[in-house]
Structure formats: C-alpha cells, structure tokens
Amino acid sequence: MEAAFIDQLDQIYWQGYGEEFKADNPDAFYRQFAEFKNQYHFIMKYETLFIRVLVAVHADHTSIAEIVNEVETQSKLSLTDTANFNILETEIYYQEYVTLKISIMAHNVKEKIRLGSSLGK
C-alpha cells in the first residue's frame, strides 16, 4: 500500500517526490499515508484491462461469420468476477492468420522462378 501512495505522489508532483518526501519529512509522510489508507477503501478505482485469449480452431464451415456465430451461440469461454475485480464486458474479435500460407506461396513462386520454370506449368 505504501508503494501505491508513493506512486500517487510521484504522479501528482514529479518522479521521485514520494521517496524524497518520506526521507525529508517522515512524520508528515506517514500522517498523509495513514489518511491515504483510510480513504483508499472508499475510492472507486476503475482500470481497463484487455485480456487477449488466442484460440485456434478447425471448423467445417465455409465462412468466418458461421464460425463466429457458432462460437458465440454454442461454445463457452468463461471469465468470472473475483474479490478484486468485476468483468464488465466481453467481446469476441476474430482475425484470420494467413501470413504463413502467403509466405509459403511466395517461397514456392520464388523457387519456381529460380529454377527457370514458368508459373503456368
């Protein structure tokens, strides 16, 4: 908790202020620290945290929309509240990973050109 108080002082004034204040005037520092601890429990603090979960799937669908719809309606990915945080919102984002496939195709084209064969053969 003391580190959080020092960090808050550094954000209000300048980097290193909290430690300087503690060293230069410990009585005032600890008095204000005690007030901080008493008030801290009443302050509502919200942080935005983005958690990325990567899931690789094999699907028998022909479109991304069908895959996403099936995942959203028939699958479960569960994040639950804890004593220290509440889940406010979850969303499913999707991204196709085709980089490897394109890279392999480009390598094959370069190899064919290097061997002197035409792309039409």
pLDDT digits (tens, 9 = 90+) for 63-101: 878 887 888 788 877 778 888 777 777 777 666 655 445
The residue with greater pLDDT, 84 or 18, is 18
pLDDT confidence bin for 119, thresholds 50/70/90: very low
- Structural domain boundaries enclosing 12: 2-40
Residue 70 lies in a domain: no
The residue with greater pLDDT, 102 or 23, is 23
* Span 92-117, average pLDDT: 56
Residue 116 lies in a domain: no
User: What is residue 8's predicted lDDT score, i.e. its pLDDT?
Assistant: 87
Residue 106 lies in a domain: no
The residue with greater pLDDT, 41 or 75, is 75
Residue 109 CA to residue 115 CA, distance in Å, equals 10
Residue 9 CA to residue 32 CA, distance in Å, equals 11
Mean pLDDT of all residues in the chain? 75
Task: Say which residue the tokens 């390598």 belong to.
Answer: 107
Residue 51 lies in a domain: no
Residue 18 CA to residue 2 CA, distance in Å, equals 10
Residue 71 lies in a domain: no
Residue 63 CA to residue 71 CA, distance in Å, equals 13
User: What is residue 115's predicted lDDT score, i.e. its pLDDT?
Assistant: 58
The residue with greater pLDDT, 118 or 26, is 26
Check whether 25 has a pLDDT greater than 90: yes
Residue 80 lies in a domain: no
Residue 119 lies in a domain: no
- What is the domain count for the chain? 1
